[in-house]
């Protein structure tokens, strides 16, 4: 007899506004505990020193996490001029200092070189693996190593504020794998200055934006009022870019059993018009209920991920 899983069979997404000096794994554990959920995960690590959007998946939503890992992201960050550090943020030891203070106009003139597909070397203090070891572990141990540049995409970058000569605020929208700290390192080098990240906030991950974000304090308050379900977003929130197809109750039953269904020509033509980028994935919906993620091939929908409803 199968052992009963601990916790409640709760499924959905929480768009958490992660607080400063709080790890992503720590945040997931806290949210899971508040909901008493059987399982939980997150879509994209956020450094402890960063704040902002951390999408947390509960229950069946964890099956959609892989689709969020490639999602575009947006950040707002502050550069502090005058000091470069080992970690490229304010917590690191000073490696160099300078009296150079680039102006807003100079930064705006330099930013276009960082937009588009660019080659970027990750920070030494990062989770990138080197011969099976995390780069940050090697850096903390004082090991000498090099990280190879890799292609990342930055869709846009703009100066959003320049409060004083020592600080400038920038907003970017970017693809996966982009390091803000590397942007600051390279921008400072291009301007002949020293700098580090003094503040960092993630404002969006795919469909999860600041407008949907909720703080841990508010979640705790709602838990005392037994009102947590009110802020739980549907499992399919992470699948906004995947076309949805309404299926019958009979077809939903077949898909839930892992069996393919046959599409009528009209459905095939409709989906072909909506599928982009070579994708064949479709969200099969029975009313408001996500039944399965399925792949369309030869006029059939073949289930790839099946979702169990509580």
Catalytic residue ranges: 47
Distance CA 226, CA 75 (A): 33
Residue 219's φ and ψ, nearest 5 degrees, are -65, -40
Distance CA 62, CA 307 (A): 10
Please state, in angstroms and as integers, the Cα–Cα distance from residue 256 to each residue in 23, 154, 302, 304, following that order: 36, 39, 11, 10
Helices assigned H by DSSP within 59-103: 65-68
Among 89, 95, 79, 86, CA closest to 190: 79
| Strand duo 51-58 + 195-205: pairing | parallel
- Helix (H/G/I), strand (E/B), else coil: 190: helix
């Amino acid at each position: 007899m199968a052992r009963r899983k601990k916790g409640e069979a709760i499924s959905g997404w929480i768009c958490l506004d992660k607080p400063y000096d709080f790890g992503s794994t720590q945040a997931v554990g806290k949210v899971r505990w508040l909901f008493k959920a059987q399982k939980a995960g997150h879509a994209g690590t956020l450094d402890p020193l960063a704040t902002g959007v951390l999408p947390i998946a509960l229950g069946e939503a964890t099956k959609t996490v892989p689709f969020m890992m490639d999602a575009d992201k947006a950040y707002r960050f502050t550069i502090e001029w005058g000091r470069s550090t080992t970690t490229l943020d304010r917590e690191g030891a000073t490696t160099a200092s300078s009296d150079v203070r680039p102006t807003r106009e100079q930064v705006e003139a330099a930013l276009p070189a960082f937009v588009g597909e660019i080659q970027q070397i990750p920070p030494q203090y990062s989770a990138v693996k080197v011969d099976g070891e995390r780069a940050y572990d090697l850096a903390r141990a004082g090991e000498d190593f090099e990280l190879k540049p890799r292609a990342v995409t930055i869709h846009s970058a703009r100066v959003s504020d320049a409060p004083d000569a020592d600080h400038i605020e920038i907003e970017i929208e970017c693809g996966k794998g982009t390091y803000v700290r590397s942007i600051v390192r390279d921008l400072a080098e291009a301007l002949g200055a020293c700098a580090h990240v003094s503040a960092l906030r993630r404002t969006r991950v795919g469909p999860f934006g600041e407008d949907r974000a909720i703080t841990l304090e508010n979640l705790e308050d709602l838990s005392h009022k037994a009102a947590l379900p009110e802020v739980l977003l549907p499992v399919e929130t992470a699948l906004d870019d995947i076309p949805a197809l309404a299926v019958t109750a009979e077809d939903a039953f077949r898909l839930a059993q892992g069996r393919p269904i046959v599409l009528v020509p009209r459905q095939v033509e409709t989906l072909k018009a909506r599928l982009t980028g070579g994708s064949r994935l479709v969200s099969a919906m029975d009313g408001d209920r996500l039944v399965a993620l399925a792949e369309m091939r030869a006029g059939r929908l073949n289930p790839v991920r099946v979702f169990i409803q509580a």
